[in-house]
A = this chain, B = another copy of it.
Amino acid sequence: MQKGIATYILTANCPSQVGTVDVVTRFLFEFDFYITELNSFDDVLSQRFFIRAVFRRENNGALEREAFEAAFSKRAEKFGMEWELTPSDYKPSVVIMVSKYDHCINDLLYRYRTGGLAVDIKAVISNHPDLKPLADWHKIPYHHFPITAETKPQQEQLVQAVLDSVDCELLVLARYMQVLSNEMCARWSGRAINIHHSLLPGFKGAKPYHQAYAKGVKLVGATAHYVSDELDEGPIITQEMSMVDHTHYPDDLAKKGMDIESLTLARAVQYHIEKRIFMYNNKTIVFERS
């Protein structure tokens, strides 16, 4: 993307039918937009169409959002199209939830701090006080909300209150180690990303590195996925792995896996904010960039 030029991302999806590409590309052409990047995919099995276009106004003029939306709505409606327009420099409000492990949040905060990840991190929420100094140094409010089996509903109310207060758009569970309630999962469907330290659907639940050790696997991995009400079963966004050998006891696997977890979660967040991901049928379409 070139600096200093306003570019936009249009993402849309609808049932497969003739004209799905054209309704987008013709519109952009008629409204004098120049498309710099375009990807579409038609899922033959689910009969659904997905498209992502990056574009800018010719002569780098401004886009009048209301006019754009009104005009495109009319056309998209006929196709039963769900769509979204996003300025490519838009920084969504993000809240990070953590427990005690800090490798993922440390990585995210580094990218945030140095501009590598275009997000506006509004708060860190944890059930432990340990990572407050890290948040403090990044000048991000830190909320310590302890949790027990009994206090979970109340704790989640506190969490939700913070999310509301900052108009949170993306919730990132950076090794939060707690299972969200079904209500919370439903409310944040498609807007909450979790990192699980295994190659899902393998080694779901607790202590995946111990499970991996017991099975004697020769590679370990990490999975970033949207949260769903079934534990570790939400739509997978991206996965990564690392070779291991017999010299790795469970603690070694956990240590080795940290780098992979951090990279995988950061990549998923990057894809999310770049509007590269579509969630459908408990799976994802991701217009990746290798």
Instruction: Please report A residues at the B interface, Cβ cutoff 8 Å.
Output: 2, 16-22, 25-26, 28-29, 32-45, 51, 58, 102-103, 106, 110, 114, 116, 137, 199-202, 215-219, 221, 235-241, 243-247, 249, 255, 258-259, 263, 282-286, 288-290
Contacts and interface: CB of A to CB of B under 8 A. Distances in A.
A251 B233 CA distance: 23
A216 B245 contact: no
- The residue in A44, A102, A200, A245 that gathers the most chain B C-beta atoms within 10 A of its C-beta is A245
Given A37-B247, A41-B247, A215-B283, 12 more contacts: A17-B34, A18-B32, A36-B42, A38-B40, A103-B114, A199-B199, A199-B202, A200-B217, A218-B237, A219-B241, A245-B286, A246-B286
Given A29-B18, A110-B106, A116-B258, A217 B236 contact: yes
B245 A288 contact: yes
B37 A29 contact: no
Contact of A216 (B38, B218, B241, B283): B283
A127 to B, nearest CB: 19
A244 B283 CA distance: 13
Contacts of A259: 263
A7 to B, nearest CB: 11
Number of this chain's copies in the assembly equals 4
Given A245-B290, A284-B246, A36 B29 contact: no
Nearest to A234: B216
25 contacts: A17-B34, A18-B34, A21-B35, A21-B38, A25-B26, A26-B26, A35-B40, A39-B39, A41-B247, A44-B249, A110-B110, A199-B199, A199-B217, A199-B219, A200-B215, A215-B236, A216-B235, A218-B238, A218-B239, A218-B286, A219-B241, A244-B290, A246-B284, A259-B263, A288-B290
A51 B40 CA distance: 12
A277 to B, nearest CB: 10
Contacts of A288: 245, 290
A285 B245 CA distance: 8
Nearest to A237: B218
Contact of A37 (B42, B106, B241): B42
Contacts of A42: 34-37
A258 B201 CA distance: 21
